[in-house]
Structure 1
Amino acid sequence: MPDPARSGRALGPDADGDRPGRRSGARDRSGHGQGRNLFQEQLSVEGSYVWRYDASDLSQRRGEAVTTLGQGWTEPPGTPAVGLAYLAAFKATGRPLFMDMAKATARALLRTQLESGGWQALLEFDPVARAAWCYRADAGTGRPDCEAIEGNKLRNVTNIDDNISQASLTFLIRLDSELRGEWGDLRKAAMFGLEGLLEMQYPNGSWPVRSDFKIPDALTNSAWRARYPAEWSRTYVEPAGEFYITNDHVVRDTIRMFLLAADTYREPAYLATARRAGDFLLAARLPESQPGWAQTYNPDLEPIWGRKFEPPAIAAYETASSIEALLELYAATGERRYLEGIDPPARWLEQSRLPEGDWARFYELETNRPLYFDADYQITHDGGEAPDHYSFRGSFGIPSVLERYRQAADGEVLAGQADVSPVPSDADVEAITGALDDQGRWVEDGLIHSGSFVRNLAALASFAAAEKGVSLPDYIRPVRHKLDF
């Protein structure tokens, strides 16, 4: 059993600022408040965060790209992921410190919400550089009208790739719920963002990865059911025109966000939006004998190339995330068509497991042979020379997804409803608290990782709540798969 000073009271300073658990002048291993204060006071830019920081020079910082001291990052484990961890800590302890941190993080997102409703990966706070962006907060402040801004083609483009806008809205919705709508600007931003993503949805239920306008119905004449292409090129063909994707969990993450919004605000339009996306997934599932999902489709719902290392194929990872989305729709609606739509792809995943116990990312259309790429990005069936920048093989969380499906199919639980934060073991808590350095930081190979901070803070929050006999919502679940970035 961990020392209480390092477990139930391990979530930072008491209200009077004293550090819990300090004994005989020894270094306080429970000093997570110190680590978190450092995180906000020394690492935050206007309430925003990036992915990682050089522990010896905190000015050296980056998200997916290097950032300046006037920039933040939205893609998890950036700004919204940190905000969700702060919110978990507040729910576990009730300490105003954590609510103040969560509010500061929300202000960063309110200041960088685009007029199209969502966010880009990069958040700009430099007063001069901000003028190149169509930030909703800056409208009417002397900045040129959005249409008049030149030199930035992304100036008003909502991005839903990599959980950028979905995670941001998820955090704002969670915080708005906790505050019971009392922060009017926060509620308005959440409503505005949800409306923007609702209007972006294609009539067939899919979404473009990024957009700055409402999608006209006339643009979309999608097939009703996925099919195999008559032929496909073994060399890269850049997708042109309109296309639909499941890659990077775009559909799952957006469904998950709209289900949260529907549950929070009791707005039927949000649930209807999630249902339409579920209909798209059911339509985009390929026929037997490969009833899984591709990453990218043309308007005929035929698999096509995405990027040069993403061929027309059945994708194991995206099949798993599509199953997750259907499970959560089943949990929210009780409609068995979502559950019944999972059985064929679940069986396909079981049958497609490699002898070593994991999965290839891609399986060749109709033959079901694993597909890889060599160092020159030529398709091959040999994974030995695959580039290491992409997950061409792995477990992809598939075993846990299949287990959740089996539970739902057996009637044990409506999968997705048990949105409860996992409680770490005593040994896990000891490891987390013991990993702090003398400055109260989690440092790995000379770097401070936001993902580790989010994971550790949420775990300690769950542990502290459990000590009180309380189950904590799994606030970081929507971003958990991104915490190792």
Structure 2
Amino acid sequence: MKRLALLALLLTTTAHGATIGTMVPAEPLTVERIASSAPIERAAWQDYLARSASLLVKDKASLAAELPSGHPIPAPAAGGNGPKSMPLDKPATWYGGAEARHIADVIVSFQTPAGGWGKNQPRDGAIRQPGQHYVAGEHGKDGQRPWNYVGTIDNDATVTEIRFLSRVVSQLPAADAGSYRASLLKGVDYLLSAQMPNGGWPQVWPLQGGYHDAITYNDDAFVHVAQLLLEVAAGKEGFATVPASTRERAVNAVVNAITCILTTQVVKDGERLGWGQQHDALTLRPVGARNFEPASLSSAESARILQFLMGLQTPTEEVKAAIRGGVAWLRDSVIKDRSWEKTEQGSVLKVSPGAKPLWARFYALDTNQPIFGDRDRTIHDDVAALSEERRNGYSWYNTAPQKTLEIYERWEAAN
């Protein structure tokens, strides 16, 4: 096929690949942009933006009110691997013990008034002190503290906290589970509140601006939220005590999330392809994120979205079409007989006959060729042309879609 021929050609290029473009930063969600959107959507988006602004004010005011005037601001909690500190694979009875309850107490203490949690913070340390920031590593200057990722679904944050609390709630008597259950329900409500009118989720809620306001498939954040709400809707495990009204809201949220997935799938020349790491909330087109993450089709995120769709019990014909189109795109985009390896000279793409199928992280929206971004926002057609820091500090290739293709074989036989 033409795409495979193009990939083969690209893999033979020299280390002096061309600079083919410049990354364009994503636009935030603003009053002005909403005003220019379709009239039928305007009221819902205006309400969404107003709720975000209101929650942001309340979050900041609540933190400020905890600390009496003149008292020193407590040092922020240390950062680290948050999910690792909240294991979800222990025996059921472990979650009713002292160790799990301490982790749950820490989780509850760091929950924001809006109901979410920050990222990259271990939850097995100390309880949050009055006036201590909700997120790890946020130091203040001149009395002003930065306000980043204060409530996020990035890096498995919020979803992991909710899942851990659900396990603790399921193992405790109702009288002992009260505060954990309340925190869990507040967390679920946070996710429902954060959902956009089109069914997507931003990376940070209340909104932070920039690419954080985009529909975030990056690192499977969207899928993790949708999967969690599926379990909430079904009342599985620790979600059995979730009120029927909340479970019904979760059902509607998942339906809207699936609609969002279907409407954001990139279509070119009538063919359904994959998805970007993030899509603009209003235009639904793929957009860039950090300087080295250009608007593109993303193989790993697309693969995980397809797994989520294939896990639906009664897929519609539109869902089936999305799955088949996405799988066809993954098959067309595979890179064979190459491996991405770390060497003494850094990470390199090597000729490796018989190597496992490989995919570039990003594919150009117009040509489907692999593309690579650098810190200075330049976009390249050859990974070897990147600065040493970016070439070695990012996962430019992955094998994740292979599992999706294997699942698809079984799914297609059943559908």
TM-score (norm 2): 0.63
Q: For 2:255 and 2:232, how far apart are their aligned partners in 1?
A: 13
2:217 aligned with 1:246, yes or no? Answer: yes
8 Å CA contact 1:112, 1:119 repeated in 2: yes
Q: Who is 1:383 aligned against?
A: 383
Number of residues of Structure 1 aligned to a counterpart in Structure 2: 297
Q: For 2:200 and 2:370, how far apart are their aligned partners in 1?
A: 27
Q: What amino acid maps onto 1:108 in structure 2?
A: V
Q: For 2:95 and 2:162, how far apart are their aligned partners in 1?
A: 22
Distance 1:290 1:282, change over 3 A: closer
2:60 aligned with 1:78, yes or no? Answer: no
2:283 aligned with 1:300, yes or no? Answer: yes
Alignment partner of 2:147 out of 126, 142, 154: 154
Q: Percent identity?
A: 23
Alignment partner of 2:116 out of 94, 115, 118: 118
Q: Who is 1:34 aligned against?
A: none
Q: Who is 1:139 aligned against?
A: none
Report how far residue 241 of structure 1 moved: 9.4
Provide Cα deviations, 1:113-171, integer angstroms capped at 9, x if missing partner: 11110111246977896404369xxxxxxxxxxxxxx6234389311111111111112
Q: For 1:320 and 1:399, how far apart are their aligned partners in 2?
A: 8
2:299 aligned with 1:316, yes or no? Answer: yes
Q: For 1:394 and 1:241, how far apart are their aligned partners in 2?
A: 24
Q: Who is 1:358 aligned against?
A: 358
What pairs with 1:61-76 in structure 2 (closer than 5 Å)? 71=77, 76=82
Distance 1:198 1:73, change over 3 A: farther
Q: For 1:128 and 1:159, how far apart are their aligned partners in 2?
A: 18
RMSD in angstroms over aligned alpha carbons?
A: 3.3
Q: For 2:99 and 2:310, how far apart are their aligned partners in 1?
A: 33
Q: Who is 2:184 aligned against?
A: 190
Q: For 1:274 and 1:175, how far apart are their aligned partners in 2?
A: 25
Q: For 1:290 and 1:334, how far apart are their aligned partners in 2?
A: 17
Report how far residue 409 of structure 1 moved: 2.5
Secondary structure at 1:379's aligned position in 2? strand
Q: For 1:351 and 1:108, how far apart are their aligned partners in 2?
A: 47
Alignment partner of 2:261 out of 251, 258, 281: 281
Q: Who is 1:260 aligned against?
A: 231
2:375 aligned with 1:393, yes or no? Answer: no
Q: For 2:315 and 2:170, how far apart are their aligned partners in 1?
A: 24
8 Å CA contact 2:96, 2:172 repeated in 1: no
Q: For 2:375 and 2:133, how far apart are their aligned partners in 1?
A: 38
Distance 1:401 1:240, change over 3 A: closer
2:325 aligned with 1:344, yes or no? Answer: yes
Structure 2 unmatched runs, 5+? 1-73, 136-142, 338-356
TM-score (norm 1): 0.55
Q: What amino acid maps onto 1:176 in structure 2?
A: V
Q: For 1:309 and 1:132, how far apart are their aligned partners in 2?
A: 33
Q: Who is 2:35 aligned against?
A: none
8 Å CA contact 1:119, 1:158 repeated in 2: yes
Q: For 1:164 and 1:252, how far apart are their aligned partners in 2?
A: 13
Secondary structure at 1:348's aligned position in 2? helix
8 Å CA contact 1:206, 1:280 repeated in 2: yes
Q: What amino acid maps onto 2:205 in structure 1?
A: S
Q: For 2:310 and 2:194, how far apart are their aligned partners in 1?
A: 24
Distance 1:403 1:307, change over 3 A: same
Q: Who is 2:368 aligned against?
A: 368
Q: What amino acid maps onto 2:230 in structure 1?
A: L
Q: For 1:115 and 1:197, how far apart are their aligned partners in 2?
A: 13
Distance 1:337 1:290, change over 3 A: closer
Q: Who is 1:30 aligned against?
A: none
Structure 1 unmatched runs, 5+? 1-67, 136-149, 216-237, 413-485
Q: Who is 2:106 aligned against?
A: 108
Provide Cα deviations, 1:364-422, integer angstroms capped at 9, x if missing partner: 11211111246865322112344221111111x2111222222222229xxxxxxxxxx
Q: What amino acid maps onto 2:397 in structure 1?
A: R
Provide Cα deviations, 1:29-57, integer angstroms capped at 9, x if missing partner: xxxxxxxxxxxxxxxxxxxxxxxxxxxxx
Secondary structure at 1:275's aligned position in 2? helix
What pairs with 1:395-410 in structure 2 (closer than 5 Å)? 395=399, 397-410=400-413
Report how far residue 178 of structure 1 moved: 3.9
8 Å CA contact 2:204, 2:213 repeated in 1: no
Q: For 1:372 and 1:134, how far apart are their aligned partners in 2?
A: 35
Provide Cα deviations, 1:226-282, integer angstroms capped at 9, x if missing partner: xxxxxxxxxxxx957953221121111111111122222461211221221111111
Provide Cα deviations, 1:312-350, integer angstroms capped at 9, x if missing partner: 11111111121122233x13x555543442110011001
Q: For 1:400 and 1:369, how far apart are their aligned partners in 2?
A: 22
